[in-house]
Structure 1
Amino acid sequence: MEQIQGFLPIILLFAVMYLFLIRPQMKKQKQEKKFAQEIKKGDKVVTKSGLHGKILDLNDDGTCIIETGAGKMKFERSALSMEMSGKLNAPATPAKKEKK
Structure 2
Amino acid sequence: MDGLILPLLLMLVVALPLILSTRKQKRLMAEQQEMQNALSEGDRVMTTSGLYATVADASDDTTIDLEIAEGVVTTWLRQGVRERIVPTTEADEADEVNADEAGDIAEPVETAQDDTTAKATASADDATGAQVAAPLEHGKK
- TM-score by shorter chain over 0.5: yes
Partner of 2:27: 27
Instruction: Report the RMSD for the aligned CA atoms in angstroms.
Output: 2.3
TM-score (norm 2): 0.57
The Cα of 1:60 is off from its aligned counterpart by 2.6
Q: After alignment, is 29-38 or 68-77 more displaced?
A: 68-77
Partner of 1:57: 57
Q: Bigger relative contact order, structure 1 or 2, given CA contacts below 8 A and separation 6+? A: 1
Partner Cα distance (1:48, 1:24) in 2: 20
- Counterpart of 2:75 in structure 1: which amino acid? K
Partner Cα distance (2:26, 2:83) in 1: 17
What are the residue-to-residue correspondences of 1:15-94 with 2, within 5 Å?
Answer: 15-19=16-20, 21-69=21-69, 71-84=72-85, 87-88=86-87, 91-92=91-92
Partner Cα distance (2:35, 2:13) in 1: 34
Partner Cα distance (1:58, 1:31) in 2: 18
The Cα of 1:59 is off from its aligned counterpart by 3.1
Partner Cα distance (2:59, 2:87) in 1: 25
> Structure 2: where are the runs of 5+ without partners?
99-141
Q: Which has the higher strand share?
A: 1
Identity of aligned residues (%): 21
Task: Report SS of the residue matched to 2:87.
Answer: helix
> Structure 1: where are the runs of 5+ without partners?
96-100
Partner Cα distance (1:54, 1:6) in 2: 55
TM-score (norm 1): 0.77
The Cα of 1:29 is off from its aligned counterpart by 0.4
Partner of 2:11: 10
- Counterpart of 1:27 in structure 2: which amino acid? R
The Cα of 1:89 is off from its aligned counterpart by 5.1
Kindly name which structure, 1 or 2, has the bigger radius of gyration based on alpha carbons. Answer: 2
